[in-house]
Every structure is written in C-alpha cells, then in structure tokens.
Amino acid sequence: MKQSTLFIIFVILGFCCMAQTKLDSIQKLDEVTLSDTKLKTFSNTQSVLKLSDSIIKKGNPLLTHLLNNNSTIYFKENGFGMVSSPSFRGTTAQQTAVIWNGININSQLNGQTDFSTVNTKIFDAIDVRSGGGSVLYGSGAIGGSIHLNNKVTYKNENTHYVGIDYGSFSTINSTYKGHFSNKRLSVNANVSYLQSANDYDYVNSNNTNLNGAFYSNNIGLNLGYKINDKNILKAYSNYYDGQRNFSLQVSTETPSKYKNRDSRHLIEYLGLFRDFTSKLKVAYLTESYKYFSNTERDSYTDGGVNTLVLKYDISYKLADNITINPIVDYTQSIGEGSSIERVKRDITGFNLLLKHTIGSRFLYEITTRQEVTNNYESPFLYSLGLKYEFSDFYTLSVNGSKNYRVPTFNDLYWQDGGNRELKPESSYQLELGNKFTYKTIDLSVAGFYNDITDMIRWLPTTTVWKPVNTDNVKTYGIESRLNIEKSINQHHLTLTSTYAYTVSEDQERKKQLIYVPYHKVTAALAYNYKRLSAYYQYLFVGEVFTQSDNNEKFNLNAYYLSNVGMDYTLGNTKSFKVGAQINNIFNHNYQSVLGRFMPGIHFNTYFNFNF
Amino acid sequence: MKQFKKVLLLTLATAFFLTSCSNDDDMTTPVSVPLGAYDNGYFVLNEGGGSSVTNSITFVGDDGTTTEDVFRIENPDAEEMGIFVQNIFFDATRAFIVAGSGSITVVNRYSFEYITTISTDLESPRYGVIVNGKAYVTNNASFASVTDDFVTVIDLTNYSTSQVLIGNYLDRIAAVGTKVITTNNQYGSEHSVSVIDTNTLAVTDIDLGAGNTSNSIVVNNNDVYVLTGSGKFMEIDLSSNAIANTLEIPASILGTKNLNIDNNTVYFTSGASVYGFGLGDTTVSITPILTYESNSAFGVMYGFAVNNDVIYIGDAGDFASNGSFYEYSTTGDLLSTNVAGLGPNGFYFN
C-alpha cells in the first residue's frame, strides 16, 4: 500500500508543468475570516458537506441531531440528550475527529467527543468532511471530521440575534449572538443556555425516562484585529459548562450524574505577504469532568487534561499554481484524575503539504506528517488526492491516505490497567469520488475502503481490565448525496438527501461491527414562499447488531422518523421569525442503543429575533 | 455436601408447608412431584453487558436439557432484573438475584415466578448470604470512595432494609453460625476480611497481610477458608479473629482464584487451569486437574464451581456475545459443552 502510493506520487510529480492562477483572492479572504482554512485549501479531493447557518438555526441545538438528520453519520444515543457517539463510515466513536476552529477537540481522556454536549447554535458554519484527514486534523480523523467554525468578518456590522426555543419535556434553549465590526476590528460574541427536564414517556409503555435532566452553558468570544492589511491578529475562545443526569434503564438503578467543563482558547497571528502566508497559532484547551455514581452522594471520580498547542504554518507559492505548506506543531498535554496520576505528554509534528493545479481542470494534493513523541510509536502519515474535472457535468476525485488514532490518556495511564505499550490505531484508506452537476442538481457518489488495524479494545485480564491493540476491521461502502433546487416564480423547493451503505467487518470474527447499520438514509424537502418556509425531514436507520457474534436476538430494529416544521418571518425589516416543529410525527417507538428508548412524537417552537 | 442435603430437606419441608397453606386443594398432591419446573438442576447466571436486556439465567436440568432466559420465560411482563447481574443466593423457597445497578429481584427458586424487587439501601451490590431469616448483601457504594462500602441487611419477612457501614471495599460474603464474613479487595490493594456479628452488628477486621487480597471464600463444616490472588490458602479462626493456618500454593501458579471445596477436596483456578488438593494437605501439586481451551484469553474462568464431583466452568468469550460453559469430571474429563448467555459468571444448584 505504502509503496504503491509512493509510486503514484512520483508518476504525478512527473506531470508538473503548466500554470494557471485561480481563486487567489478568495483564498486570502478565507484566511482572514476563518481559522480552519485547510478545509478549503487542502480538502479538494474529499467530500465536504456544509451545513448552513439557516439549517443550524432550525431544530434543537444538539450536534448529534443536526448531523443525524443531515449526514450519513450514524449515531448511537443513550436516550435523548444523553451520551451520543458517532460511527462515520463504519468506524468507532474515537475515529471521528471534532475540530473547533481548526483545532482537534476530541477528549484527550477518552478520545471522543460526546455529540450531545456540543451546542450548534453558537457556530456560524458546521462542515462534515468525509474520510481520512489525520495529517491535517490529527488523531481520530479516520472516518471523517466535523468542523465547528466561527467567522471573523470586517464589514461594518452591528447586528444582534436572539433565539429562543421551547419544546417538549420542558426543553429550553436561548441563544444570543452579536456581531460588531468595522474595517479593522471584528467582535463576535455568543451565549447559549440549554436545559431540559427530559422526562418523556416511552411509547407504548407505562414507563417514563427517569433521571434524564440536563443543562449546559456556552459562552464564546471571537475577535479579529487588522494591525494593517498584512498583519492580522485573531482570538477565539469558548467556555462550556454542563451537567447531565444519566437516564435510567431500569427504575431500580442508582441514579448518577456527570458534570463537565471545557474551555478553548486560540490566538492566531496571520501575516499575508506576496508569495507566502505565515500563521502562528497558540491554543490552550482544558477539559475536566466529575462523575457522581450516586447523585445523592458528594463523592465523585474526576479527571482532566490541559493541552497547549503551538503551530507554525507557512504557505508558500512556488509558482502561481503550486503551493507548498510546511507546518511544525508542538502539543503538550498534562492530565490528572482519580485514576490517572499526573502525567505529561509531548508530541512534535512535522508536516509538509503540497497542492498543484495543472490547467483549469486538474489538481492534486499531497500531505505528509511525521511525529516525534516518546509516548507511542508514531507512524508516518500521508495522503494523496487527485481531482479531475472532465466537464462541467462530471468531476472525478481519488484520495488515498494513512491515518491514525492515538492511545488516550485513559488507555495509557489508567490505574490499574493502563497500557504504555499501546500503538496508535492505524488506517489505510482509499476513496473514489464522483460529482455530477446538472443545472441545479448536484449528485455526488463516493466509494470508500478503509483497512483499520491495531484497534484498541479494553479487555478483562486476570486482575484488571486492560486496553490492547487487537482488532482489525475493514470498512467499505458507498456514500452519496443529492441536492436539487427548483424555483417557480416565488416558490422555492430544495430537496437534499444522503444515503450510505456501510460494511464494517471485524476480520477475526468475519462479522459486521456492532452498532453499524448497513443502510442509512436522510432526506429533507424544504419549501419557501416569500416569508413562509416549511420542511419535511425523513430519516431511515437500518437494523443494527448489538452483539459481536451478530446474535439476532439482540438486534435493534430498523426505524424511520419523520419530522415536519414551518416558520414565518414577521416585521418590516424581516427581523422576527416564529416557527414550530413536530418531531417523530408517526410516534414510532425506537431505540438507538439496546434498552434505551427514544421519545415519541414531540414538539419544538422557536422565536428568532434579529436587530 | 452435608449442608446441601440439610438445605434440601429444609427446602422440601418448607415448600410443602407453603404449598399446602396457600391452596387447600393441593393437599392431595403426591410427594414425588417436583417443586417447580426448575427443581432438579442448576442455574447459570449470565451477567449481561451494559444493557439491561442482555442478562439472563440459563437452567440446566438433571437430564441435561437447557432452558435459556428462564426469568423472562416465567415472567414475560416483569421489569428487567437490572444491569450486570452479579450473584444469586437462596433461602428455602426463594432465589435472590443481585444486580449491580442496585436491585435484588426475588423469585420462587423452583418456579422462578416473580415475587418482588428490593431496591432500597442498595448501591453497587455484589454478593449476598442469609442468616436467620435476614439477608446480608455487600455493596461497593460509590466507586469514588472506599470508605462508604456497606452491608445491606434485609428482613426477608417484609423485605425491609437497613445498612451496616464497613468502609472496606467489599466483595464476597459467607456465613457461619450467626456471623458473616466479607472479603475486602479494593482492586487488589486492600488485604483484610471483615467479620460481622449479626446479633450485635459489630464489625471486626482481620488483616491478611500486605499483598494478600482475598478473592474467594468458602465455609466448609463451619470452618472458614479464603484464597488470595497471591497464592495463599488461609483458614480463618473466628473465635480469635486471626489467621489459623496458611498454605502456600507454589509460586509458579499465578493469579489464583475461584476457591471451592467439594467432598473434602479444595479446588481453585489459575488462567485456564483447575487445580486441586485434599483438605488438610500441606502441599499443592503444580500439575493441574485440567486445562481447558478458551478462544479468548481474557474471559477465562469467568464462572467456576464444583458440586458433587462435577466441575463447572463459565467462559465469557469477548463479553460482547454469547459465552460458553463446560462440565468436567474431577479427573479432568469433559462431560459437556454448552452455549451460555452473555458473560456467564456463576453456577447455582437447585
């Protein structure tokens, strides 16, 4: 695999000749407004799904619901608002990276992000990038990555947004977002509060969701200051504080709760010069949790990690059509907890990225990364992507990469059981993307193949549970997306749909991985007429196995859900929007985790006010 | 063995007494009729995974027929037994099924008909035992603290509960006379047993010495024996609250656990092997009675028991699919191989 990829690199390098400039100014603009620019500059040969602000503003603020309804990612939820973990292209929860303004924020303790703890309302854009991206986005970018971005713009704004949602099970979310900017300074502030009693009745049962209440607070501030046209300073910060009770499976269970706090800070100094762009980033991330195994007691177990990231990134134009981009980064994490003695880990990474456009139709990009660390044996990571636009109608892209998921603090240092001999999980993958565009119809179909080895699993040994590099999983399948827009007079219709077929096979057992459905479909039909908009949303999740031997007795049935929603904009300046949604309109009884029932029909109303 | 017979006699007597009380028409019932569908045989307790629906109890009749998930068969509408079912203990007519999530499900031990659920004064319960009509159940309480561990005392006439705080990390429990003894094992760092006088509820700790964490306990002919993971087979003297005798198991046998005594032979396991020696012997042979084949090195000997010269082994496989259980003779011959539920962790004999 490695050899053949290198061979392809040389063949492609042989082509280097012609030159053409394109989209230069747009890229400079992206550098100014976004921190995560690699999503645009080095993700040309992979599929990126953009979820716009208007989609984000509809519906409840949980990231898990936004993505479940709009992407091919499968989610496993321990009930509404409870722990939610993704399976992207048939991979595990630790193999999806969550990226906040360009920085990987998966927990250093357990390697994953709980998608129920991310409040989407405070972000300006959320993108889903399919496939490997460990060179650009680090550990866990195997199945794909989720990008949470805030924008820093300079366009003389002074706008405020207030959104209030009220829904079933006493769920309240209120969000404020303020944008202030002139030509040199940009201030983007946000506050969001979410709470829910979450005491829904189970469908066709006398039981109720017990001990499910949760709340969370989010505060964010994003600043930009243009010292002059060439030198820009940016600062992003976000603070999260939340508490969740863990809902009970059986009424006799001892009720427990979980509190966590995360803070994220990023300062970026950007220098824009004729042939090169220089970026210095300093990020400081903290995460901490307290788990109370009995809500009645004061005793808890806890853990936390503080991480410092330094990154120097210089993008240099060798020629008008060739960009070379070396990056050096250093990450230091210090973790500590009830079961982890204070421990520090340092990782230094050297990256080299190259993009070359040949003619107006062909480009290729190469990324490489080598880490130096004494915590684990770090593999050489790379990717190679090619894109060729055959015509306005059809574009082909090919991408191959090697990616990894590093052992977490828990994996390495947990007492007792932590295994310091662990290797990172690694994955070789290949994908072929086809994009068809006809008038206002966009269709993309990608086939992917992913060979993941050394997967880490905790197993009981004679005395304690211990993580070991054991499993080998191959995943392959098809991911497709359709987007159709149609306007007749003032009537606008949009149909978006995704479908994924996913095989994820454990190579030892020759069985499908648990909690990976073969089929998942999402579809949304939106209708707009003047100030009125309405939509219908459909979700189908195929049957999943919950036992490694695929014992059918414990399978979760396939389910489909339908949601409808409508909103209307009021006021002379269209500043006021009122809307309502009905979710699970057919009141289906479904579980996304065995023994965990999800809500039946439920409602949400929202008021959005811009001034 | 003697005790088993005694219990059996008592059981028969009580069961008949209860039957006749509850229904006068049954006065003519012939004496040879079994006490219920699950009278003659044994149960395999399958602890299940993180989901409450995955645990189960398998019944194996004396004729070798197995019935899966007997609790659900007999009680289709009852609530789940909890998450991670840990232990079953019995009185004459009832079986008490302990679930780590904080409950004890009470059923008729012969018909498996649901009686009630006890859920007060329970927090991460482990094992139970009965003395004079009261059950004593060990609890780990909050995982964040080793000082809050307690024993639940349950009055079995009305299922009312109370707690006795002990503080050590409590695990197994056994009874002798009016005393109960717990093994304390905070993931290997604790090395004591606690003795509770059930009349006064006074607690006395007996130190087994650094490194000697007991992981199993057996009462045989009113003598108390514990086995430590460090290879020490100890007899505890409850009159002086001290270690009466220590037998060193050869150091080459690592990770000793699963102490059982049957017909005056002491059995224990290490890895996938079963070892044995005569009660009273002063040396232990390093040659195992048997070593069984396990697909997974990690779910080995998850459940173990020896009863009436038959060795029972539960293998948990990968803990994410059905396990297996085996019957062996005491000379190491394989008698049967069976499919268990998820995580078979114990065998209980009816």
Cα–Cα distance measured from residue A22 to residue B259, given in angstroms and rounded to the nearest whole number: 76
Q: What's the pLDDT at B246?
A: 96
pLDDT of residue B83: 94
Strands A96-100 and A144-149 turn out to be parallel
Main-chain phi, psi angles of A41, to 5 degrees: -80, -30
- Reported as a single tens digit per residue, the pLDDT across B109-153 is 999 999 999 999 999 999 999 999 999 999 999 877 888 899 999
CA distance A593 to chain B (A): 8
From chain B residues 160-179, the ones with a CB under 8 A of any chain A CB are none
> Is A462–B254 a contact, with Cβ atoms under 8 angstroms apart?
yes
Predicted confidence band of residue B188 (pLDDT cuts 50, 70, 90): low
The pLDDT tens digits for A363-420 are 999 999 999 998 888 899 999 999 999 999 999 999 999 999 999 999 999 887 889 9
- B132, B175, B116, B125: which is closest to B151 by C-alpha? B125
Nearest CA in chain A to B102: A253
Residues B106 and A105: their CA atoms lie apart, in Å, by: 47
Rounded distance, CA B48 to CA B57, Å? 10
> Do B115 and B109 form a contact (C-beta atoms < 8 A)?
no
**Do A141 and A132 contact (CB within 8 A), yes or no?**
yes
In angstroms, rounded to a whole number, what is the distance separating the alpha carbons of residues A481 and A475? 19
What b/e string do you get for A18-30 counting C-beta neighbours within 10 Å, with b at 16 or more? Answer: eeeeeeeeebeeb
Interface touch A462/B271, C-beta < 8 Å: yes
Contact B52 A301 (CB under 8 A): no
Is B51 close to A251, i.e. CB distance below 8 A?
Answer: no
**CA pair distance A309, A205, nearest whole angstrom:** 50
Count of CB atoms within 10 A of residue A440's CB? 11
Is the pLDDT confidence value at A357 over 70? yes
Residue A416, preceding bond cis, omega within 30 degrees?
A: yes
Grouping H, G, I as helix, E, B as strand and the rest as coil, residue B150 is strand
Tokens 């396939």: give the residue: A558
Question: Closest to B117 (Cβ–Cβ): which among A252, A514, A551?
Answer: A252
> Which of B269, B318, B319 should one mutate to test binding to chain A, selecting the residue with the greatest count of A CBs within 10 A?
B318
Least confident of B6-15, B156-165, B323-332: B6-15
Six-digit token string for A477:
């399948």
Rg of chain B (C-alpha set): 20
Chain B contact for A251 (CB, 8 A cutoff): yes
DSSP for residue B34: -
Tokens of A516: 């990976």
Position A461 confidence tier, pLDDT thresholds 50, 70, 90: low
Look at the block and give the residue holding tokens 């993009």. A355
* Helix, strand, coil percent values for chain A (each to nearest 5): 10, 55, 35
User: Pairing between strand A591-593 and A84-87?
Assistant: unpaired
pLDDT reading at A481 higher than 80: yes
Contact A554, A589 (CB under 8 A): no
Top residue of A252, A294, A457 to mutate, by most chain B CBs within 10 Å, is A252
* φ, ψ of residue A340 in degrees (nearest 5): -130, 120
CA A90 – CA B283 distance, rounded (Å): 55
Q: Which of residues 249-268 of B touch A (CB under 8 A)?
A: 254-255, 257
Question: Mutating which of A204, A254, A291 best tests the B interface, going by the most B Cβ atoms within 10 A?
Answer: A254
Which one of A462, A508, A551 would you mutate to disrupt binding with B, by most B Cβ within 10 Å of its Cβ? A462
- pLDDT tens across B9-45, in order? 333 333 333 333 334 444 444 556 788 999 999 999 9
- Burial readout A212-223 (b: 16 or more C-beta within 10 A, e: otherwise): bbbebbbbbbbb
Question: Mean pLDDT, to the nearest integer, of A224-246?
Answer: 95
Assign A135 to helix, strand or coil: helix
When computed from its CA atoms, the radius of gyration of chain A, rounded to whole angstroms, is 24
Distance CA A143, CA A90 (A): 7
**What's the one-letter identity of residue A192?**
S
Cα A535 from chain centroid?
24
One-character DSSP codes across A521-546: EEEEEEEEETTEEEEEEEEEE--B--
> What strands lie across the sheet with B125-131, from one edge to the other?
B125-131, B134-139, B150-155, B160-165
Using DSSP, state whether B240 is helix, strand or coil: coil
Please answer yes or no on whether A252 and B101 come within 8 Å at the CB atom: yes
Judged by CB atoms closer than 8 Å, whether chains meet at A294 and B52 is answered as no
Count of alpha carbons within 13 angstroms of residue B126, beta-carbon side = 21
The span from the CA of A500 to the CA of A497, in Å, is 10
Q: Per the CB < 8 Å rule, is A594 touching B119?
A: no
Which B positions 169-228 lie with beta carbon below 8 A of chain A? 187-188
Indicate the pLDDT class of residue A337, thresholds 50, 70 and 90: very high
B344 contacts in chain A (CB < 8 Å):
none
Residue type, A444: S
Give the chain B residue nearest A457 (alpha carbons): B318
Distance from C-alpha of B47 to C-alpha of B344, rounded to nearest angstrom:
6
Which residues in chain A are closer than 8 Å to B102, comparing Cβ atoms?
252-254
Single-letter residue type at B82: G
Question: Strand B203-207's sheet: what is its strand order?
Answer: B170-176, B179-184, B192-197, B203-207
Q: How far apart are the first and last CA of chain B?
A: 13
Residues in B closer than 8 angstroms to A593, CB to CB, are: 51
The answer to whether the CB of A375 falls within 8 A of the CB of A449 is no
Q: How far apart are CA A74 and CA A88, in angstroms?
A: 6
- The set of residues, in sequence order, having a beta carbon less than 8 Å from that of A33 and lying 6+ positions away, is A151, A152, A153
Q: Report the distance separating Cα A273 and Cα A229, nearest Å.
A: 10
Domain-by-domain residue ranges, chain A?
2-610
Please tell me what DSSP assigns to residue A484: E
Nearest residue on chain A to B52, judged by CA atoms? A595
Task: Give Dmax over CA atoms of chain A in angstroms.
Answer: 72
ipTM entry: 0.84
pLDDT tens sequence across B74-114: 999 999 999 999 999 999 999 999 999 999 999 999 999 99
What residues of chain A lie within 8 A of the CB of B117, using their CB? 252
With H, G, I as helix, E, B as strand and everything else as coil, classify residue B73.
helix
CB contacts of B82 in chain A (<8 Å) are: 250, 252-253
Which residues, 6 or more positions from A9, have their beta carbon under 8 angstroms from its beta carbon? A366, A384
Question: Residue A25's pLDDT band (boundaries 50, 70, 90)?
Answer: low
- Residue pair A579/A58 in contact by the 8 Å Cβ criterion: yes
Given a contact cutoff of 8 angstroms between Cβ atoms, the answer to whether B259 and B193 are in contact is: no
Q: Which fold has domain A2-610?
A: Maltoporin; Chain A (2.40.170)
Burial class (CB in 10 A: 0-12, 13-18, 19+), A14: exposed
What pairing do the DSSP bridges indicate for beta strands A394-405 and A381-389? antiparallel
Handedness of CA A383, A386, A392, A394 (dihedral sign): negative
Which pLDDT value is given to residue A27?
61
The Cα–Cα gap between A361 and A354 comes to: 17
Spatial CB neighbours of B289, under 8 Å, sequence gap ≥ 6: B267, B273, B274, B275, B276, B311, B328, B330, B331, B332
Q: How many CA atoms lie within 13 A of A276 on its CB side?
A: 10
CA dihedral in degrees (A390, A396, A402, A404; nearest 10)? 130
Q: Which two tokens stand for residue B81?
A: 């037994």
CA triple B18-B20-B24, angle to 5 deg: 140
Task: Give the C-alpha distances (Å, rounded to integers) separating A449 from A212, A270, A473, A502.
Answer: 39, 37, 11, 10
pLDDT bin (cut points 50, 70, 90) of residue B190 is confident
Is residue B79 within 8 angstroms of chain A, CB to CB? yes
Nearest to A139 by CA among A95, A183, A109: A95
User: Are A278 and A306 within 8 A, CB to CB?
Assistant: no
Q: What are phi and psi of B310, to 5 degrees?
A: -120, 135
The stretch A295-319 carries a mean pLDDT of 94
Q: Which amino acid is at A434?
A: N
pLDDT digits (tens, 9 = 90+) for A565-594: 999 999 888 889 999 999 999 999 999 999
Q: What is the largest CA-CA distance in chain B?
A: 62
Q: A66-121: per-residue pLDDT in tens? A: 999 999 999 999 999 999 999 999 999 999 999 999 999 999 999 999 999 999 99
Task: Report the C-alpha gap between A331 and B123 in whole angstroms.
Answer: 41
Q: For residue A239, how many other CB atoms are within 10 A of its CB?
A: 16
3-class DSSP assignment, residue B66: strand
Above 50 in pLDDT, residue A19?
no
Q: Is B223 exposed, middle or buried (0-12, 13-18, 19+ CB in 10 A)?
A: middle
In A, which residues are within 8 Å of B83 by CB distance? Answer: 249-250, 253
Pairing relationship of beta strands B114-118 and B125-131 according to DSSP bridges:
unpaired
A543–B contact, CB cutoff 8 A: no
Kindly write down the DSSP assignment for every residue of A426-450, as one continuous string.
Answer: EEEEEEEEEEEEETTEEEEEEEEEE
